[in-house]
Amino acid sequence: VPHFNTRQLFSEVISRQEATDEQSTRLGVVRETFSRWLNQPDWGWGNEKSPTETVDYSVLQRALSAEVDLYCQQMAKVLAEQVDESVTAGMNTFFAEFASCLTELQTRLRESLALRQQNESVVRLMQQQLQQTVMTHGWIYTDAQLLRDDIQTLFTEERY
């Protein structure tokens, strides 16, 4: 996870600066006033020049901009990795389920083909039996007509 280090950022832009005589005099007057007010002579730093710390705003702006850019790059990288991981996981799940569906479909098609072939053989057998039955019926019909003709002929001859 990206880390935004503000302490380091600000400590790098703070620089020491020697106080000028004018600043020293101004600070001295304030110190002397406080010293008199507190009734303690020589309170504070006295006349010695003390270093002060200042913030260079242009350096701070550049450092802050660079830090924000780095942070954004790190966040973009982390987000891209998370998106990549989730998309990969989603694709793996999808293709696993899709392969499972295809396997089940293949099994069902094989079963259907086997049933169809079985039904076709039963249909052919029944067609053969039907043809044989039709032929038998035709022979019986023909035999019945011939028998009727023979019986009529016999009755006709007996009358004469």
Residue 24 in any domain: the answer is yes
Residue 69 in any domain: the answer is no
| The amino acid at 37 | W
Residue 2 in any domain: the answer is yes
Rounded Cα distance between 105 and 99, Å, is 10
Token couple for 158: 């007996």
Residue 137 in any domain: the answer is no
Q: In the chain, which residue ranges form alpha helices assigned H by DSSP?
A: 6-13, 21-38, 57-159
**Taking residues 56-73, what's their average pLDDT?**
87
Predicted model pTM: 0.41
- Domain hosting 10: range is 1-55
Residue 32 in any domain: the answer is yes
Per-residue pLDDT of 11-54, as tens digits, reads 666 665 555 555 555 556 666 665 555 555 555 555 555 556 67
Tell me how many domains the chain contains: 1
**Inter-axis angle of helices 6-13 and 57-159, nearest 10:** 150
